[in-house]
Amino acid sequence: MRVVDMHCDTISVLWNRREKGEKVSLQENDLHVDLKRLRESGYLLQNFALFVDRGKCVHPWEKVCQLHRLYQEELLENADWIAPVYRFADIAENEAAGKLSSLLTVEEGAVCGGEIEKLRGLYQMGVRMLTLTWNYPNELGHPNLNAKEKGNAPEEFLYQPNVTDGLTERGEEFVEEMERLGMIADVSHLSDAGFYQVYEHAKKPFVASHSNARSVCRCVRNLTDDMIRKLAERGGVMGLNYCADFLREVPRGQYNPGAVEDVVRHAKHITNIGGIQVLGLGSDFDGIDTNEGLPGVQSMERLWKALKDAGYTEKELDMIFAGNVLRVYEEVMK
């Protein structure tokens, strides 16, 4: 079993906890993700997101640079365990050297302030995937979940997609420049309108790094069946997100523990709609409350078994757990 995961927020959590004076490291910790468990659990590659909540910081660019410094420090300190990926060939080289691979991403396009030069700066820093929006409108486009509009109506917040406000003109320019650079466009969090603009403008595969199926769970962080088909048509991949509230709806106020069966249900629907080639993993570990069925990276064997019991073949499981995402990386990354 080889595992490639398109999204976790571990670096940002490490930064926050260190700011509080805690001694916590990437090598071994009590979070969802650490290097020790990644290595023990068959991981080939983990995407590490530099997540910036623009509602909690004045200068998003400065914050992403702070997170990047922490990421670099951790990779340097654990150089015997893990190595960065800048081009697709690095993955095989790292594996041959007995090391995990780390692919750097940014979650929140607002860190660039709409400046193309800052996008190029991210690329020079090693970033190879950019989530165009998080839960706020920014210079590039609009999200489906707008944190500023949440108010006292969580149901509306979760279930009303934004079908009118999409990418800005600058957002379209960013998608074009990302493709030129060899950086993957990530539409998780992006509005429905924005998704279709990326679909129209992108010439290379793009991803929804951590999104599920809206037909199974109505939350607008998930993709509609039409989006799944169009993502597959473009050769893209979507990563199963283990957030319980994106997997199954429960009555307001009721605890949602999460379960492996919920993930399997989404997987079956997605592959039925878009084909086996469209599905990957995008745990959202350390960015979500713990899913009791999949409490950390050590749980991937449990997910593999559940999907196998649901009828997936070994070849199909290899595609879901690694092969589909690696195909996209090979096509887009230079």
How does pLDDT run across 136-181, given as a tens digit for each residue? 999 999 999 988 765 544 566 688 999 999 999 999 999 999 999 9
What confidence score (pLDDT) does residue 253 get? 85
Q: Please give the residue that has the higher pLDDT: either 155 or 285.
A: 285
Confidence class of residue 302 from pLDDT cuts 50, 70 and 90?
very high
What confidence score (pLDDT) does residue 150 get? 58
What confidence score (pLDDT) does residue 155 get? 62
Confidence class of residue 287 from pLDDT cuts 50, 70 and 90?
very high
What is the distance between the alpha carbons of residues 308 and 318, in angstroms, rounded to a whole number?
A: 11
Q: Determine the average pLDDT of the residues in 300-309.
A: 98
Nearest to 162 by CA among 138, 135, 144: 144
How does pLDDT run across 11-48, given as a tens digit for each residue? 999 999 999 999 999 999 999 999 999 999 999 999 99
What is the distance between the alpha carbons of residues 35 and 63, in angstroms, rounded to a whole number?
A: 24
Q: Is the pTM of this model over 0.95?
A: yes
How does pLDDT run across 218-251, given as a tens digit for each residue? 999 999 999 999 999 999 999 999 999 999 999 8
What is the distance between the alpha carbons of residues 239 and 164, in angstroms, rounded to a whole number?
A: 25
Could you tell me the sign of the dihedral formed by the alpha carbons of 51, 185, 32, 227, in that order? positive
Q: Determine the average pLDDT of the residues in 278-296.
A: 98
Percent of residues, the chain, with pLDDT higher than 70: 97
What confidence score (pLDDT) does residue 147 get? 80
How does pLDDT run across 99-142, given as a tens digit for each residue? 999 999 999 999 999 999 999 999 999 999 999 999 999 999 99
Q: Please give the residue that has the higher pLDDT: either 4 or 157.
A: 4
What confidence score (pLDDT) does residue 154 get? 55
